[in-house]
């Protein structure tokens, strides 16, 4: 699956309609972002069952603000509407693949149960 542009208009729908969503927060002037971009694109080609979105922090600062993005590139991962990961920093291809596999391996029933416990506390 190719990447698509994430904006405030399609943010909620993207999170809710995709079983798994990776978001690359980037800007054209950012050197590490330009290095990570092709790695992110390659992963999107490899994982057709996962949604890959790119959020240009210059044109969609409102989306970046919702996530508290203050450093780019930042990668966010949602699974079943739950934010699992949101960290700054470019990573190598193997690192991104490992992170994807870890997110896919999670028991989401267990994650939801822990989230419910935290809300009750």
Rounded to the nearest 5°, which phi and psi values hold at 61?
A: -65, -25
From the list 30, 50, 53, 64, the catalytic residue is 30
Options 6, 21, 23, 33, the catalytic residue: 33
Q: Confirm whether 33 is a catalytic residue.
A: yes
Query: CA of 64: how far to CAs of 6, 11, 50, 80, 110, in Å?
Result: 10, 11, 21, 20, 28
What is the C-alpha to C-alpha distance for residues 72 and 111, in angstroms, rounded to an integer? 27
* Catalytic site positions: 30, 33
């Amino acid at each position: 699956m190719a990447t698509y542009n994430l904006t405030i208009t399609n943010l909620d729908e993207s999170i809710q309609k995709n079983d798994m969503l990776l978001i690359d927060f980037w800007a054209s002037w950012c050197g590490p972002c330009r290095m990570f971009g092709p790695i992110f694109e390659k992963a999107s080609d490899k994982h057709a069952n996962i949604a890959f979105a790119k959020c240009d922090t210059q044109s969609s600062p409102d989306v970046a603000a919702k996530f508290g993005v203050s450093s780019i590139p930042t990668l966010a991962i949602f699974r079943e509407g739950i934010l699992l990961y949101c960290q700054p920093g470019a990573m190598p291809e193997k690192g991104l693949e490992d992170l994807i596999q870890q997110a896919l391996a999670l028991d989401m029933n267990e994650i939801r149960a822990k989230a419910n416990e935290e809300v009750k506390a």
